[in-house]
Structure 1
Amino acid sequence: MNSLLLRIRPFLQTLRYALSFVWQSSPSLAVGSIVVRVIQGLLPLAVLYLTKLLIDAVTESLKAPAQDASLAPIATILVGLAVAAVISAMLTVVSSLISRIHAQVVTDHMHALLQAKSVEVDLEYYENARYQDTLHRAQQEAPYRPTSILNSLLQCFQDGISLLAMAGILWWLHWAVIPVLALTAIPYFFVRLQQSNRLFAWERERTPLERKAWYVNMLLTQATAAKEVRLFDLGPRLRDWFREARTVLRRERIALERRWAFAGLAAQIVGVAGVFGVYSFVAVRTFHGLLTVGDLVMFFQAIQRASGFLEGLGWSVSNLYESNLFLTTLNEFLSIRSKLPEAAQPRSFPAMLGQGIAFEQVSFQYPHEERVAVRDFTFTIKPGEHVAFVGANGAGKTTLVKLLCRLYDPTSGRITIDGTDIREYATADVRGAVSGIFQDFVKFQVSAKDNISLGVKAPEVGLQAVVQAARQAGVHEAIERLPKGYESLLGKLFDGGHELSIGEWQKVALARAVLRNSQILILDEPTSAMDAKAEAELFERFHELAQGRTAILISHRLSTVKMADRIFVVDRGQIVEQGTHDDLMSRQGLYASLFLTQAQHYQ
């Protein structure tokens, strides 16, 4: 009993959870669906009764003398059946229309929830394979499962009302008919429940393989890897990988379907035996004169419909159970909480930096990794100071930017802005004070104007401000050469788009950062795709636009950081040197060695 309650309680909670989504998306459509289903549930009772009256009326008219026969009662009943048929057809159309409209509304509502949660969760989750599995399952199931639950529940309601009506008719025949039909329907119901459990377990287990197939398909069909696929002739190998994954998934799913088909057939045979047993009972009573021909037809139809409603009720309940299982995945996803706690009473972020930024014994280790990314970072950056962090790839330079933007919290130590731990500020305020571009910046496939204006929260950004930012980043002339100027679509994802060079894309990203006008400007390998002349021009502009703001430059190209006020040399997660370019060269340490190594390629 306790185990049954343990199963029923989560089922009811998830059911209520799903219905709340449906109701929130559109209360009026939900009410409309309920009203229509109630009427549809009661209509079969009226049709059956009218059918009985029609057959009895025809039978009586055949017995009566020709001169006394009248078509009026038959015509009246036929009109009633016709009206019922028209109402049934209208309700079917209305029900289908409401269901389709509601499905679209609920799907959009669920996408909005998934997107809101996806934006809310920490960056850490995006670097976690288990999170990606959970997200994939939620994206696959969540958009349609709440609507499926509503439709299954409404179908249960409709079938339940119709079944009660049929039960009333069959009680009139004999009370034992009802439990006989119910008992013969139980095996099919349990087969469906078992099927739902196995399907859920299988899909959960196979999510990583399904994601692998999806990923390989993306490599084959999207522009991301198009050049490498053709250059290295990767098509056959990738198609083999996809085929292998899909073969495993298909073989296992077909085996499950085959097993369910045989189990379902056995269960339906039991149901058919019960129905024909009751048919025989009705036929014998009619043969002995205890029932009229109209009674015979009415009871036959009532038995047939009751059996169908029982099967439909079992199907709907099992669908509810299945959707309940799959919605636990959505619940898992929506229950994800940030690991970056917000201060109970966040402090006001300074309008202008007074003391600057300080890292105090900051260490950080990425989750699920053994390597320490940064160790005991201790340094200060004064307001308006331009500093650079240099070192080999993987030294920990980009990690410190993630920590400053509070995409992660330090494993130990603290980061302060104007003497206050950044965890005491609202996260949105911290991130709002920082602007910049990462090495893996996004190429938004929208207009040039929108590409740049995405840097600010304002819904409408004037073209003049966008143009000014583009001029500062050195991309204005490139945009002006496009057919529609700043209204031109960038990228080739959509029809009519125009592709830019890598360097031009990087300048667009820089313009986006400039437009934000934040107090702290970060450039993470900002010139890796530019030639030497363009690089020199950009840094001249950079120093101009960064005047009065704190600037952090991350680079492995040392020629780009000579003009920084201070340079920090990072090696294996630690700051090993700091000073101006001249200071560091005079020490003849790691910086001088790296600089001279790079410089010899230009001699």
Structure 2
Amino acid sequence: MAASTQTDRLEFRRLAQLGLAVRLVKDCAAGWTLAGAALAVLQGLLPLAGLYLLKLLVDTLTRGLAGGDRTELWEHALTLVVLAAGVAALGVLLRNLAALATEAQAMAVTDHVADQIHRQSTTVDLAYYETPAYYDTLHRAQIEAPYRPLRIVTGLTRLAESGILMVAVAGLLMTFHWAVPLVLLAAAVPGLFVRMHFSRKFHRWQREQTEAERRSWYYHALLTAGDYAKEIRLFGIGPLVASWYRDVRTRLRGGRFRLTAERSAADCLLQGGSLVVVYAGYALAAYHVLAGRISLGDLVMIYQAFQRGMAAIQDVSGALAGLYDDSLFLSNYHEFLELRPRVTAPETPVPVPRPFREALALDNVSFAYPGSDRRVLDGVSLALRPGEVIALVGENGAGKTTLVKLVCRLYDPTAGAVTLDGIDLRRFRPEALRREIGVIFQDFARYALTARENIRLGDHELAPDDPRLAAAVRQAGAEPVIRRLPDGLDTLLSCQFAGGTELSAGQWQRIALARAFLRDSRIVVLDEPTSSLDPVAEYELFATFRRLLEGRAAILISHRFSTVRMADTIHVLAGGRIVESGSHESLMAAGGHYARMFMLQSANYR
């Protein structure tokens, strides 16, 4: 009983989402929606005029065959034909106008849905990107976004048009016999429920197969994306990956085909029953003609009305089933939009100190990623003062990059607090805090944009010709890179589009450094800032590093000890804890963890 009640509530919620579909279309294109509704009314009523003119024409011709004044009847018949042609021409015009309105609505809705998905994707926490469930939810929302809005619009238009036609034809058929419309309706209703049943089955199957669908997309990307092209060819694994793709697609295709075959079999049975009802109606109408109760024109009109009525009822049934199916998409779409960030602004945020005067501090901070009990950071405390440079070193997985993510408030600590001038970062607006931090991560982004746009993204509110862009290029030592580009800063840095060029890893790192330096921030975070630079370029960068910082505080993360030795304080992380802190000289003198790592690395150069 409880399961049945829960199912009923779910069905009610899905039906209620049909109202959301209507509101979605109306809000995105109110004017076109109004025009589409008016056109749907006209298209629904116009066929009745055609049916009635056909009845009059047949009756006129019948009278002529029975011996009436053929000249007069011919003129009357010709008038009826001209009127019928006018009705048909008007129908063509209305259909084209309706197609235009539908296309305009669909484009508006499609763009609105894409905007919502983009906004939500950039709003949710970084933590969501660490979980397969998020990617499943995003995939379900994205995969149908390009075509579902158009189906919703056309489904609503089709429902309105066919619904009006169905009511009008039902009224006409009731003049023949009151039970005829009810019989036609009864013949069509089972089809609606069967379609809704299979819509639920398809939706359930799709949710169960989301991860397999994403995996096939991933294999496709391996075979087609430039990031993997070298290794695919060098290791000769193209046929292997292609076989993985085919295996997944074969399983998915088999499951979808079985459901489609089941639905086709059910549709075949239902349509057979509908044909019996329709032709029984034809037989009844023929009997009434022979009995003299209706004219031959009435028979033709009823015959056409039967066809139009049955088609209208099936269209209404199909539109409702289609909208029900689309409501399942809307449930995926709204499931994605209902994801809520955990890193949020407080109700009454305080201003971020600018410039900060005391310290950016971690106080006994611990952190575990969502869904995991393992602490990546465990009781970490340190401080970064204005103008100071600190370095974080340690083996891979020690927690260095995670610590930076907490400083940028991409995550909140599991325990402890990160503060700026004694104020918990959770009391600031995240956007305001992040404006005070310039970051280059080890896996920095390489945008398929011009060099100017790549750098300007560090502070996109600056004008494209702002002189600070050139200053950032000088600070990052990127001037030689820009000079070699065919169009300088206006060169497209990608071969994905015409006229673009590609950079080496070291050149890209210069561009990313310029992006970090462009930001008017008081804290700079550099995660492996020289990992792709050659030794000469690295030396040149750090020979002037203090001057480049221009008094800003900095956090360096690097495995190169030649990079970190110039820091004021070096913190050594191991197992999520700070095990040593001090200057390069004091840590070397202590002979501990740092000294051992330094000696191991320097031994390679002896």
TM range (shorter): over 0.9
Distance 2:221 2:365 in 1: 39
CA deviation string 1:529-569 (max 9, x = no partner): 11111111112243212131110000111111111111101
Code of the residue aligned with 2:571 in structure 1: it is F
Q: Tell me, yes or no, if structure 1 residue 420 matches structure 2 residue 435.
A: no
Deviation at 1:67, TM superposition (A): 6.7
Counterpart in the other structure of 2:450: 447
Counterpart in the other structure of 2:32: 29
Code of the residue aligned with 2:117 in structure 1: it is L
Q: Tell me, yes or no, if structure 1 residue 501 matches structure 2 residue 468.
A: no
Counterpart in the other structure of 1:379: 382
Distance 1:65 1:564 in 2: 112
Distance 1:102 1:362 in 2: 52
Question: 1:193-212 to 2 correspondence within 5 Å?
Answer: 193-212=196-215
Distance 1:148 1:460 in 2: 41
Counterpart in the other structure of 1:354: 357
TM-score, reference length from structure 2: 0.97
Q: Tell me, yes or no, if structure 1 residue 40 matches structure 2 residue 33.
A: no
Distance 1:362 1:107 in 2: 44
Code of the residue aligned with 2:177 in structure 1: it is H
Counterpart in the other structure of 1:480: 483
Q: Tell me, yes or no, if structure 1 residue 337 matches structure 2 residue 353.
A: no
Deviation at 1:494, TM superposition (A): 1.2
Distance 2:555 2:199 in 1: 55
Q: Tell me, yes or no, if structure 1 residue 297 matches structure 2 residue 303.
A: no
Deviation at 1:140, TM superposition (A): 1.2
Counterpart in the other structure of 2:140: 137
Distance 2:575 2:198 in 1: 53
Q: 2:100 aligns with which of 93, 97, 122?
A: 97
Deviation at 1:459, TM superposition (A): 5.8
Deviation at 1:255, TM superposition (A): 1.0
Counterpart in the other structure of 2:311: 308
Distance 2:74 2:549 in 1: 96
Say whether the 8 Å CA contact 1:53–1:294 is kept in structure 2.
yes
Distance 1:246 1:158 in 2: 38
**Secondary structure at 2:556's aligned position in 1?**
strand
Counterpart in the other structure of 2:183: 180
CA RMSD of aligned residues (A): 1.5
CA deviation string 1:59-111 (max 9, x = no partner): 12232355764422112211211111111001111111221222122111111
Distance 2:475 2:11 in 1: 63
Distance 2:423 2:576 in 1: 24
Name the count of aligned residue pairs. Answer: 603
Say whether the 8 Å CA contact 1:61–1:69 is kept in structure 2.
no
Counterpart in the other structure of 2:398: 395
**Secondary structure at 2:175's aligned position in 1?**
helix
Counterpart in the other structure of 2:568: 565
Change over 3 Å in CA distance of 1:8–1:600 after alignment to 2: closer
Change over 3 Å in CA distance of 1:602–1:194 after alignment to 2: same
Say whether the 8 Å CA contact 1:387–1:568 is kept in structure 2.
yes
Say whether the 8 Å CA contact 1:449–1:463 is kept in structure 2.
no
Q: Tell me, yes or no, if structure 1 residue 170 matches structure 2 residue 170.
A: no
Code of the residue aligned with 2:39 in structure 1: it is V
Distance 2:393 2:478 in 1: 26
Distance 1:2 1:586 in 2: 73
**Secondary structure at 1:71's aligned position in 2?**
helix
CA deviation string 1:168-221 (max 9, x = no partner): 111011111111111111222222111101110010100000000000000000
Say whether the 8 Å CA contact 2:15–2:324 is kept in structure 1.
no
Deviation at 1:461, TM superposition (A): 3.0
Distance 1:301 1:92 in 2: 20
Q: Tell me, yes or no, if structure 1 residue 579 matches structure 2 residue 582.
A: yes
The percentage of aligned residue pairs carrying the same residue is: 41
Distance 1:180 1:16 in 2: 29
Deviation at 1:7, TM superposition (A): 4.5
Distance 1:70 1:179 in 2: 37
Counterpart in the other structure of 1:118: 121
Q: 2:246 aligns with which of 238, 243, 261?
A: 243
Say whether the 8 Å CA contact 1:19–1:146 is kept in structure 2.
no
Say whether the 8 Å CA contact 2:124–2:341 is kept in structure 1.
yes
CA deviation string 1:421-463 (max 9, x = no partner): 0000111111111101000001101111111001113163325
Distance 2:567 2:6 in 1: 68
Code of the residue aligned with 1:592 in structure 2: it is A
Distance 1:219 1:601 in 2: 36
Distance 2:145 2:261 in 1: 27
**Secondary structure at 2:189's aligned position in 1?**
helix
Q: 1:56 aligns with which of 59, 64, 69?
A: 59
Say whether the 8 Å CA contact 1:415–1:421 is kept in structure 2.
yes
Deviation at 1:371, TM superposition (A): 2.1
Distance 1:465 1:547 in 2: 14
Q: 2:130 aligns with which of 127, 130, 147?
A: 127
Question: 1:310-329 to 2 correspondence within 5 Å?
Answer: 310-329=313-332
**Secondary structure at 2:375's aligned position in 1?**
coil
Say whether the 8 Å CA contact 1:185–1:311 is kept in structure 2.
yes
